[in-house]
Amino acid sequence: MTAIVIRDLTVTFGGRPVLCGLNLDVAQGGPTVLLGRSGSGKTTLLRAINRLNECLPGYETSGSVRVRLGGEMVDAYGADTRPETLRTRVGMVFQTPNPLPAGIAENITLPLALAHGLPKAEIAARVEASFREAGLWDEVKDRLEAPAASLSGGQQQRLCLARALAARPEVLLLDEPTASLDYQAAQGIEELLLELASRYTLLVVSHGLNQARRLARDVFVLREGSALEAVDRELLSDPEGFSHLMDELF
């Protein structure tokens, strides 16, 4: 079953086209991995799904993005879709850890209180659950009030993941979630993502073929000019095809 359907998506910034007439179907679950050279528009594509491009100056878009939310396909750009609501259902993890300038626990409670309007008891329950889900609970349970900036890079990234999970989204967009992490921390996140794929639809932007091979159920390559090409999984495990793709991409 498809979770995200993108048709004829065009995004321009200050008149310069970044994506042109792009089409993509993302299956439920995943992870679906999106590969491409830097500058090919992967991040913009991801941000088109939760309408985050709108927060940047000089942005214009056309085409349609539909996301399966609560069993129904919802037009992300529809007149009756509030971007804030959409973003609470479609979570995102950024390339570099971006904790809010607040305490560790507050990073999770603040959006739940403000964007979701949840009652206190529910928020408290979700804090521990999402920290456990992100495998961070044991490391932070004694210092929940400490500033989030006091965590290490890998911990911060897992905090951001926990924050996204706490919202109980249906889709999770991850923009090179391991790019700023060391090998071990990256491995931890990858394992976590594989586990999460059974409960959420995951769309992961990556620039590493190896990571794609480890993670992906579906792989797409985004080329210049917004040509999107599905890559056969077998090609990834075949050494010759792999190196061919490697040459082509990087």
Partner 1 sequence: MADALSLNGASGGNSSRARFQAEAGERGIRALLSGAAGTSVLCVAGILGFLAWFSLPLLQPGQLAAVLSWTWQPTSGRFGILPMAVGSLLLASSAMLLAFPLGLGLALFVNGLGPRVLAKHLGALVRLMSGVPTVVYGLASMFLLVPLVRASFTGTSGFSWLAAMLVLALLVLPTVTLVLDGQLRLVAPELRLTTAALGLSEAQSLVRLALPQCGQGLKAAAALGFGRAIGDTLIALMLSGNAAQVPHSPLDSLRALTAHIALVLATDSQSQAYGSLFACGLVLFGVSLAVNLGLRALRRGPRRAALSAHSDRPLPGLETAATGLAWASALLVPAALAALLGFLLLRGLPTVSLALFFGDTLPLDALLHGAPVFDGLWPACLGTLWLVGLAALFAVPVGLAGGIHLAEFATGRAARLAAFCVDLLAGVPSILMGLFGFALILLLRRTFWPSANTCLLLSALCLALLVLPYLVSATRAALAGLPQELRLTCAALGLSRWQAVRRVLLPAARQGILGGVVLALGRATEDTAVILLTGVVAGAGRPGALTDKFEALPFTIYYLAAEHQTPQELNLAFGAALTLLALTLALFALARRLSDGAWRPGT
User: Where do contacts with partner 1 occur on this chain (CB under 8 A)?
Assistant: 50, 52, 55-57, 83-88, 91-92, 94, 98, 100-103, 106, 109-116, 120, 123, 147, 163-164, 167
Q: Smaller CB distance to partner 1: residue 165 or 221?
A: 165
Q: Smaller CB distance to partner 1: residue 101 or 239?
A: 101
CB of 235 to partner 1, least distance (A): 33
CB of 243 to partner 1, least distance (A): 36
Q: Smaller CB distance to partner 1: residue 100 or 129?
A: 100
CB of 48 to partner 1, least distance (A): 13
Neighbours of 178 (CB within 10 A): 24
What is residue 37's DSSP assignment? -
The pair of three-digit structure tokens given for residue 65, joined into one six-digit string: 């993005």
CA dihedral angle for residue 114, residue 118, residue 122, residue 125, rounded to 10 degrees: -30
Neighbours of 91 (CB within 10 A): 22
CB of 164 to partner 1, least distance (A): 8
Q: Smaller CB distance to partner 1: residue 7 or 120?
A: 120
- Sequence-distant (≥ 6) Cβ neighbours of residue 97 within 8 angstroms: 153, 156, 157, 159, 160, 180
CB of 152 to partner 1, least distance (A): 19
The pair of three-digit structure tokens given for residue 243, joined into one six-digit string: 């190196």
Indicate if the alpha-carbon torsion angle 22, 56, 83, 195 is positive or negative.
Answer: positive
Which helix (H) or strand (E) segment holds residue 109: the answer is: helix 106-114
CB of 16 to partner 1, least distance (A): 18
CB of 15 to partner 1, least distance (A): 17
Q: Which long-range contacts (CB under 8 A, 24 or more apart) does 155-160 make?
A: 156/97, 156/99, 157/93, 157/97, 157/181, 157/185, 157/189, 158/134, 158/188, 158/189, 158/192, 159/97, 159/99, 159/104, 159/107, 159/134, 160/93, 160/94, 160/97, 160/98, 160/99
Q: Smaller CB distance to partner 1: residue 48 or 236?
A: 48
